[in-house]
Amino acid sequence: MIANEPLLIRGARLIDPSTGMDMIGDILVMDGNIQRAGSAIRNGDVPSGCRVIEASGLLACPGFIDLHVHFREPGYEDKETIATGSLAAARGGFTTVCCMPNTDPAMDNASVVDYVLRRAREADLIRVLPIGCVTKGREGKELAELWELSQAGAVGFSDDGSPVADPNLMRQALAYSSSLGLPIIQHAEDPNLSQDAPVNEGELSNRLGLRGWPAAAEETMVARDIALAQLTGGQLHLAHLSTAGSVNLVRQAKERNQPITAEVTPHHLTLNERWVQGHDEEGPLSGPLTSTAYDTNAKVNPPLRTERDVAALITGLRDGTIDAIATDHAPHVVTDKLVSLNDAAFGISGLETALGALMGLVRQSDLTLNILVERLTAGPARLLGEKYASLGTIREGGTADIVLVDPDREWVVRVGEFASKGKNTPLEGMTLRGMVVATISGGRIVHSVLLDAQPMAVGEANG
């Protein structure tokens, strides 16, 4: 499909939390923008030669926005490239992603930002926005050139994968970034408490004979940085919250009207520490340990936590304490995980399974579909600021970033079918219900199983 080809999505359930829209209707796309969205469009109002998708039974939402991915390029192209990561994102329904700077070289100067943007243009699938480093080389010793990074196109600053441990440096970063209007995105971890720990601290870590990662390693850093944000007036965004205590700290800060924002990953919302023991098609195993225990694909930073923590994260998502869902997509080569749990790399490849896993959460909890869509679209769009105000919505005149979802379609997770180079997921073999069947980015269909599987659903409109 060429960029300016008109497209009509007909008969879908339109969900756009940014406008309060939830109705059966149509979307007309022209010249990469949304011309109309709402009630049914008469055939006489459809341009000649318009491609039509009959979308009855499907959900049509704004394209998802992921504030936290690792595309590994430059430096680790064996794990992922911007091209393969972009395709994985499109398959997951994501039309905008923000790339973390733990690359080689680190994204601490304008030339690396320019390189990432150029590679994203060459991939020509979705919008890729770079996040610059807080400190030079992500070494936590000296601030990076934040102004230079912002001018080059960085949408925020983070040393993700490593926390900004020095409180005085964090104070400086928050103060400086506030003048730029961009957030400091903190990986909240006290490395003195988490050192050499591959799993959550508790009964399970004791049973497995592994060093445990206490919730306090996250919560002490969250508390410190909330205090520093209040002191400086800086904009603090907390990445991948994982504990009930962290949720409470953010909730209290928001009650004091502090401009703190936070995200949570699909895996911290849907999985718990028991997944480290391995799983079958029904879910995590319990009882005696088997050969599937010590599952390195369930090793992630921060670690999977307890069922109580998962429940608190869901509550925080529902009540607005947590602003966005972000995948923390962290692809690795197979050999990074084919080692002992202590030696394995942290991370889950999550772009392509996010929607399916989260739809299960809607069915199994009191989290509504509209809240889920909001935290994947309008919520993260707000954090990107006015420059990206046309994203996260299907408002008329906005950018035509749209995802079509079949909420009832079941599919089995097969890592061999992933577009991502990263095959590391604990969900291998699991049946998920809810599939992205088409992704439209800037008015172009960049991913579709709907068109391949149901060719009769696409035709030419009669003017």
Q: How confident is the model at residue 44 (pLDDT cuts 50, 70, 90)?
A: confident
Q: Answer for the pair 395, 388: CB distance below 8 angstroms, yes or no.
A: no
Q: Specify whether 220 is located in the same domain as 350.
A: yes
Q: Answer for the pair 216, 194: CB distance below 8 angstroms, yes or no.
A: no
Q: Specify whether 196 is located in the same domain as 256.
A: yes
Q: Which domain CATH number covers 41?
A: 2.30.40.10
Q: Rounded to an integer, what distance in angstroms lies between the CA atom of residue 129 and that of residue 429? A: 32
Q: Specify whether 296 is located in the same domain as 375.
A: yes
Q: Specify whether 29 is located in the same domain as 149.
A: no
Q: Answer for the pair 96, 67: CB distance below 8 angstroms, yes or no.
A: no
| CA distance from start to end of the chain | 20
Residue 417, domain member (yes or no):
no
Q: Answer for the pair 132, 154: CB distance below 8 angstroms, yes or no.
A: yes
Catalytic position from the list 108, 225, 309, 328: 328
Q: Specify whether 285 is located in the same domain as 210.
A: yes
- The answer to whether residue 135 scores a pLDDT higher than 80 is yes
- The answer to whether residue 458 scores a pLDDT higher than 80 is no
User: What's the confidence (pLDDT) of residue 43?
Assistant: 84
pLDDT digits (tens, 9 = 90+) for 368-386: 999 999 999 999 999 999 9
Q: Rounded to an integer, what distance in angstroms lies between the CA atom of residue 271 and that of residue 284? A: 9
Mean pLDDT over the full length of the chain? 94
**Helical (H) or strand (E) element with 132:** none
- The answer to whether residue 31 scores a pLDDT higher than 50 is yes
Q: Specify whether 70 is located in the same domain as 48.
A: no
Mean pLDDT to the nearest integer, 389-398: 94
Mean pLDDT to the nearest integer, 121-125: 97
Q: How confident is the model at residue 166 (pLDDT cuts 50, 70, 90)?
A: very high
Question: Pick from 385, 406, 359: which is nearest to 96 by CA?
Answer: 385
User: What's the confidence (pLDDT) of residue 229?
Assistant: 97
Instruction: Please give the tally of structural domains in the chain.
Output: 2
Q: How far is CA 239 from the centre of its chain?
A: 10
pLDDT digits (tens, 9 = 90+) for 191-240: 999 999 999 999 999 999 999 999 999 999 999 999 999 999 999 999 99
Q: What are phi and psi of 286, to 5 degrees?
A: -130, 180
DSSP label at 329? B
Of the chain, the percentage scoring pLDDT greater than 70 comes to: 96
Look up the domain containing 165 and give its range.
Answer: 65-388
Of 333, 353, 388, which one is at a domain's C-terminal end? 388
Q: Specify whether 51 is located in the same domain as 109.
A: no
Q: Which domain CATH number covers 201?
A: 3.20.20.140
Of 358, 388, 418, which one is at a domain's C-terminal end? 388
Alpha helices in 142-187 (DSSP H): 146-152, 167-180
**Count of Cβ atoms closer than 10 Å to residue 4 Cβ:** 11
Q: Specify whether 370 is located in the same domain as 221.
A: yes
User: What's the confidence (pLDDT) of residue 454?
Assistant: 35
User: What's the confidence (pLDDT) of residue 4?
Assistant: 66
pLDDT digits (tens, 9 = 90+) for 261-299: 999 999 999 999 999 998 887 788 887 888 788 999 999
Residue 154, domain member (yes or no):
yes
Tokens, residue 202: 């508790």
Q: Specify whether 159 is located in the same domain as 54.
A: no
Q: Specify whether 39 is located in the same domain as 73.
A: no
Question: Pick from 1, 74, 71: which is nearest to 332 by CA?
Answer: 71
User: What's the confidence (pLDDT) of residue 412?
Assistant: 97
User: How many residues are there in the chain?
Assistant: 463
Mean pLDDT to the nearest integer, 128-137: 98
Tokens, residue 249: 């700290």
User: What's the confidence (pLDDT) of residue 3?
Assistant: 55
Q: Specify whether 70 is located in the same domain as 206.
A: yes
Q: 35-49, 175-189, 290-304, 432-446 — which is least confidently predicted?
A: 35-49
User: What's the confidence (pLDDT) of residue 210?
Assistant: 96
Active site residue 328: yes
Q: Answer for the pair 224, 166: CB distance below 8 angstroms, yes or no.
A: no
Alpha helices in 96-162 (DSSP H): 110-123, 146-152
